[in-house]
Amino acid sequence: MEELRNTTSQAKLKEQIFSDATPRTTVSFYRYHAIENPHEFRDELFVNLNELNVLGRVYIAREGINAQISVPTENFERFKNYLYSYAFLDGIRLNVAVEDDGKSFWVLNVKVRKKIVADGIEDESFTMERKGEYVCAKEFNELTENPETIVVDMRNYYEYEVGHFETALEVPSDTFREQLPMAVEMLQDKKDKPVIMYCTGGIRCEKASAYLMHNGFTKVFHLEGGIIEYARQVKEKNLENKFRGKNFVFDSRLGEQISDDVISNCHQCGEKCDTHRNCENRACHLLFIQCENCHHKFQGCCGENCQRIFNLPAKEQKELRRGQHEEKETFNNSQKLFRARFFDVRNK
């Protein structure tokens, strides 16, 4: 059976959403739960979400569900009731975006994957049944007052760069699968210390907490709902905000401002800046931080070479993209390569 999917072009869908004034609410949610037939559940979900005009991405795996979506605000209650109609999703926490213009997504993608978050774990004895203890924003703040507590950021380095909790330990990596063994190694001599893990919405730090428990750590906690829920509770309950800067998000917004602090720098000139962009050279599309001045100077490109390519006729750009496997230094989309090409302003 052919998989149900949206057949309208991405360009057309993007044009439609940006011209549509319908108020939309951006939410994310996840749950680790055994799903016996992911493909069947995927098609059922696609049909019902599509009917409610939901946009975004949903990943289904045998281990559970992970979603970042936007819903027409007028359909939000219907969407919530539909979601809660599944026993394992009944009452699931929905992380509502902190800053939202309703344009975060323009297409609905529901995909079946091996894992809802790629972890690289091949140990068959690992299980999500034994994991760290949830903490809310108030409990997180209280735990961090203890000088013995270790706060660990389980996000990629480009997320940590623009915003993180005070005293948080960075596990510098491009991927979550790399971070898990790195975190164990970095904390090897602190297995009896209280460790709090956090991420954007909770899905990565929940698995990371289980992985640490699996590796002999005894006092592991993780921030329920991640930074998104923390920010909501801080505002709602008038708590001290211990997060500094911006929370990177994986949709077209690329960030939500959690505090007024700007803790990162433009990757090209070194000025204070926390605006992520993708390089306008389609063969590069590198994610990097760029201030307004450099955005104008380089036409949204990550450097002079990409700017030169960006200004070539479309036909020539297409020909160059065909040769990108040979021109790795020009077209490589790696964040690590970008750091090698430009000075590391974080260490200035």
Identify the residue whose tokens are 């951006």.
Answer: 26
Q: Which of 199, 266, 294, 301 is catalytic?
A: 199
| Sign of the dihedral through C-alpha 254, 257, 259, 262 | positive
Q: At what angle do helices 176-186 and 203-214 cross, to 10 degrees?
A: 40
Category of 278 on φ-ψ map: left (φ > 0), alpha (ψ -120 to 50) or beta: beta
Q: Which two tokens stand for residue 330?
A: 């020009």
Helix/strand number for the chain, H first, E second = 13, 15
Q: Is 149:132 a contact under the CB 8 Å cutoff?
A: no
Listing DSSP states for 46-79 in one string gives: HHHHHHTT-EEEEEEETTEEEEEEEEEGGGHHHH
Q: Which residues of the chain form beta strands (DSSP E)?
A: 24-32, 55-61, 64-72, 95-96, 108-112, 133-135, 150-153, 163-165, 169-170, 195-198, 220-223, 243-247, 256-257, 276-278, 287-289
| Inter-residue contact 295 to 305 (CB < 8 Å) | no
Catalytic site includes residue 302? no
Q: Please, are residues 88 and 33 in contact by the beta-carbon 8 Å criterion?
A: yes
Amino acid at 292: E
Distance CA 22, CA 74 (A): 9
Q: Which residues are catalytic?
A: 199
